[in-house]
Amino acid sequence: MDQPIPTTLRRVVFLNPKGGSGKSTLATNLAAFYAASGMQTVLMDFDPQASSWRWLKARPSTLAHIHGIAAYERPAGVTRSFHLRLPPGTSRVVVDTPAALEPGEIAEFTRDADAILVPVLPSPIDIRACARCIEHLLTTAKVKRRESRLAVVANRVRPNTLVFHSLIRFLGTLDIPLVATLRESQNYIRAADTGIGLHEMQPERSHPDMAQWVPLVTWVESRGMPASKGVEASA
């Protein structure tokens, strides 16, 4: 995935109120990609399950540094803004949001996002949950289609199955771009257990999966949004 990465500050939010959709998997792998690309990267974990935070704690010190913020914590004696502050020179902020968000809470995470990615699994329950999530993003959170900062990622896909074709038909009705289709792969499990990103594995092991990330990264980096005005989420 060799491509120039601009230095403008960007905030990428992974959001789907349904648990198990793959938000943490996508957030950690994108953060690892940015860090290894030479970007000063921050990974914010707002999910009390702390999957991204645990991944970061398992990350080998020999790999590119990612600054982690356990945003789900509320430390005593520290203001919220101080707890969520970014190190000087931060270029990329990747946000892992909690499950079970109420519709009124969604705007707290999307207001200053440059890119909003909604992962969805190929199952009837997940498809219905994704439809509700998109509806809340467009209506309650007031994310406008014309802003071109909202997209869907099909996650843990098995091509040529009936449920996959149902997912593709559903996504075709949304008028929201599908920017990546990620296969179900053991590499994601290995990455989660060891604190590494897919592209930090041996190329012969990870190449089929990394090829599927190219359109996702390309879409995020092509967003014509101005730099985020306030990267500290107010949640």
Per-residue pLDDT of the chain (235 residues; tens, 9 = 90+): 555 455 589 999 999 999 999 999 999 999 999 999 999 999 999 999 999 999 999 999 999 999 999 999 989 988 999 999 999 999 999 999 999 899 999 999 999 999 999 999 989 999 999 999 999 999 999 999 999 999 999 999 988 888 888 888 888 888 899 999 999 999 999 999 999 999 999 988 899 999 999 999 999 999 854 444 433 433 3
Q: State the residue for tokens 């359109």.
A: 215
Residues 22, 123 contacting (CB under 8 angstroms): no
Give the pLDDT score at 230: 38
Cα–Cα nearest to 222, from 66, 8, 41, 2: 8
Give the pLDDT score at 168: 86
Give the pLDDT score at 7: 59
The three-state DSSP-derived secondary structure of 98-125 is CCCCCHHHHHHHHCCCCEEEEEECCCHH
Give the pLDDT score at 138: 95
Which homologous superfamily does the CATH classification assign to the domain defined by 10-220?
P-loop containing nucleotide triphosphate hydrolases (3.40.50.300)
Give the pLDDT score at 28: 98
Residues 95, 113 contacting (CB under 8 angstroms): yes
Domain boundaries, the chain: 10-220
Sequence-separated (6 or more) residues with CB below 8 Å from residue 61? none
Give the pLDDT score at 89: 95
Give the pTM. Answer: 0.89
Give the pLDDT score at 37: 95
CA–CA dist 132, 51 (Å, integer):
24
